[in-house]
Structure 1
Amino acid sequence: MNTAWEAALKWTRAGSRSALARVVDSWSGGPRPPGATLAVSGSGRIVGSISGGCVDGDICARAQEVMRSGVPEQLRYDGGAGDFSAPGLPCGGRLDVFVEPVNESLRAVLAPLLAAIRDGQPVALATIVAGANASAPRHTLIPARPGDGRSATDASLDRVRALADTTTTRILDLPGTDTACDMRVFVQSFPAPPRMLIFGADDFAAALTRMGRFLGYRVTLCDARPAFTTASRFPAAHEVVVRWPHEYLAETPVTESTVICVLTHDAKFDVPLLAAALRSEAGYIGAMGSRRTHADRVRRLRDAGVTEVELGRLAAPTGLDLGADSPEETAVSIAAEIVAQRRNGSGARLRDLGSPIHHAGDTTAIRCEGLRFGA
């Protein structure tokens, strides 16, 4: 998701001009949510996407104009405008896109922004898109680090700083006086990546580490067997841990965004691990195994004191019914169930549903009284 930002930094360091286009607001099932980013170089190279193709060509042409003029531009694409000669969204919805040159203000935040993302540190970027100094947008990088010694004046940033710990990306209308709003700020949140904890060092785990990393998780592979649990066998994992699974789980942070996948289907590993996992805050807990293996697992978990409510949290056998056979297909099946749970999807075939394809999020502008940004 950050390749466009990385490209902009690379082009900047090479001395090339570039521009960034970002979705700052989206309505009625627009193709991409706020924060979707497209980078365009002065030579016409493109990284990222705003709409999946239907308006990207027009955005790239406008980006070249923005680079020449040095003045940012806000564009609106409406799938219901009815003007078929103009660039639009044939699948419906509406997008507001902010296109800006990578100028001195933006260049100053690119490297620290990407460094924070690589380190897994939550951060937000606030960009003035309209109102005060809109022709030369200012950018404020906001690390989510409470108690960092900022001054009393900086304390007004707390309301935006709080967004850095979430997946929230929003437009903020900031009033200049008690009655007027003189500034519109786009706050793009880059939260710490969610964690995927995979237990069991086998080919299915290797495929799932690749899938988890592809989906943006910080992936940990853990198994108690040193011969099987090596970094060379799991190059996609961010970390490979040789420990008894339940001991590692007891000492690692687990939140509602954490995904736990148990692929060992061996009672001596599964039972103590799942007993701990089902009492944690993890948002998804899945376990691999046949139905006979799972029935035996459930009996052992009950004997270990796991309640029926806790057992109800367990996705086992893990994954959706895709007819998966190979490790890669199984990884897709597990990932599909995780995404469906995370996004409140049904897991049904889209052709059999009459509901919107994109689940609309809350992109309502919110007003923060008295908020001020530095240069």
Structure 2
Amino acid sequence: MLELAGAVLPLLDAGHTLAVATVTRINGSAPRTLGTAMALADTGAVIGSISGGCVEGAVYEACREVLQTGEAALHEFGYSDDDAFAVGLACGGRIEVVVQRIEPGAGWSGSALRAEFVAAASRQPAGLALVVGGSAFGSILVAGYVEQPRPSSPLGARDERRLQAELATRISAGRGGLAVVDCETGFVEALFVVAASAPRMIIFGAVDFSAALADASVLLGYRVTICDARPVFATADRFPSADEVVVEWPSAYLARTEVDARTVVCVLTHDDKFDIPLLEVALGLPIAYVGAMGSRRTHERRLEALREAVDAGVLERLHSPIGLDLGASTPEETAVSILAEVLAVRNAASGGLLRHTSGPIHRAAAVHADEGI
């Protein structure tokens, strides 16, 4: 639901009612992940996608019904071998979808739920809990707010606080998921939908390849920083898609800036006076990916210089020459090559052709795990 925040906020702020369908359970192969959402506005506008096309028509009809009734509904979709033309997932998996209505009231502008949408749209940490099982099915909770579509079987105040406390913990950890929470009135099954702050892509070198990589990285949800020690090249006008352009000695900037386990560092300068001290710093940080551009000869020269300061095991973390072998040559093609490797590393994937692999195509993410709390 929060993935749609930027698109649905203007509709909600204008007073429109939405029906939102959220994937709350996945069994087998499915094209999207847990928490993926699709919304239908009372204007007829459709935002987002549940499955990439194969069950959208049925989800649309389910949303239309919830828009009319206001009653939350649970639907399951899967592929039927007996009737291949039935509504279902051609990939063979099964998904469970909960559809809920969001109707902004008089206090919407100052509501806690709106604040979570605003935070998610701004790529800041946000979260909400959707009750998907039990007597309070269909309830939506955020910190300091609960919407319960069935007043006859509401959550108790202590249960609300229990779920909100669990949500706060998950927002802080950036970890969503489906969980069964032990509450005062019994076990409550809830999907915790969490939007973490955007991961960082730090690109060193104010060159054409950096501009293309910045453009592509934004599409993948990264917060992009361009850093170069040369002020004549490192300008905001040359990198309009970057969130920030920093003029500073690369190794000094990386040593002082904030990074985490999701941060990606791409060194595109291929200039030893910048690269060697920068890579020494980068390889000593607990970040997701360190890559450096350059020829094989440049790579060997780098390795020789780095061996004097960096342990051999640590050097294994360096992706150089950067990117996957796609035959890329232009800046735009090279950006695809680099990001393809970043995704493969992030997902512990081979980066090979899918037709040469076996097993599920869609890998389970951490958010898929069912948990008991």
- What TM-score does the superposition give when structure 2 sets the normalisation length? 0.88
State the alpha-carbon separation in 1 of the partners of residues 144 and 269 from structure 2: 41
- Do the aligned partners of 1:5 and 1:110 also contact (CA within 8 Å) in 2? no
Match of 1:20 in 2: 20
- Do the aligned partners of 1:124 and 1:188 also contact (CA within 8 Å) in 2? yes
Q: CA deviation at 1:255?
A: 1.8
The residue type equivalent to 1:79 in the other structure is Y
The residue type equivalent to 1:73 in the other structure is A
Match of 1:366 in 2: 371
Is 1:134 matched with 2:134? no
1:153-164 to 2 correspondences below 5 Å = 154=161, 157-164=164-171
State the alpha-carbon separation in 2 of the partners of residues 258 and 80 from structure 1: 42
- Do the aligned partners of 1:123 and 1:191 also contact (CA within 8 Å) in 2? yes
1:182-331 to 2 correspondences below 5 Å = 183-303=188-308, 305-331=309-335
Match of 1:117 in 2: 120
Number of aligned residue pairs: 356
Q: Secondary structure at the match of 1:322?
A: coil
State the alpha-carbon separation in 2 of the partners of residues 364 and 286 from structure 1: 31
| Percent of pairs with identical residues | 40
Q: CA deviation at 1:359?
A: 1.1
State the alpha-carbon separation in 1 of the partners of residues 165 and 298 from structure 2: 50
Match of 1:68 in 2: 68
- Do the aligned partners of 2:162 and 2:183 also contact (CA within 8 Å) in 1? no
Q: CA deviation at 1:186?
A: 1.6
Match of 1:356 in 2: 360
- Do the aligned partners of 2:17 and 2:104 also contact (CA within 8 Å) in 1? no
State the alpha-carbon separation in 2 of the partners of residues 364 and 200 from structure 1: 39
Q: CA deviation at 1:252?
A: 0.7
Is 1:335 matched with 2:339? yes
- Do the aligned partners of 1:25 and 1:95 also contact (CA within 8 Å) in 2? yes
Q: CA deviation at 1:174?
A: 2.9
State the alpha-carbon separation in 1 of the partners of residues 291 and 232 from structure 2: 25
Match of 1:344 in 2: 348
Q: CA deviation at 1:192?
A: 1.5
Q: Secondary structure at the match of 1:88?
A: coil
Match of 2:152 in 1: none
Q: CA deviation at 1:225?
A: 0.7
- Gaps of at least 5 residues in structure 2 are 146-157
- What TM-score does the superposition give when structure 1 sets the normalisation length? 0.88
Equivalent residue in structure 2 for 1:172, among 150, 166, 179: 179
The residue type equivalent to 1:130 in the other structure is G
Q: CA deviation at 1:302?
A: 2.4
State the alpha-carbon separation in 1 of the partners of residues 76 and 163 from structure 2: 31
Q: Secondary structure at the match of 1:24?
A: strand
State the alpha-carbon separation in 2 of the partners of residues 75 and 155 from structure 1: 27
State the alpha-carbon separation in 2 of the partners of residues 155 and 176 from structure 1: 7
Q: CA deviation at 1:203?
A: 0.5
Q: Secondary structure at the match of 1:232?
A: helix
Q: Deviations over 1:262-282 (max 9, x none)?
A: 000001110110011111111
Match of 2:151 in 1: none
- Do the aligned partners of 1:209 and 1:219 also contact (CA within 8 Å) in 2? yes
Q: Deviations over 1:107-137 (max 9, x none)?
A: 54453113323554322211223323335x2
Question: Do the aligned partners of residues 77 and 109 (structure 1) sit closer, same or farther apart at CA in structure 2, a change above 3 Å counting?
Answer: farther
Question: Do the aligned partners of residues 62 and 193 (structure 1) sit closer, same or farther apart at CA in structure 2, a change above 3 Å counting?
Answer: same
Is 1:98 matched with 2:101? no
Match of 1:148 in 2: none
The residue type equivalent to 2:10 in the other structure is K
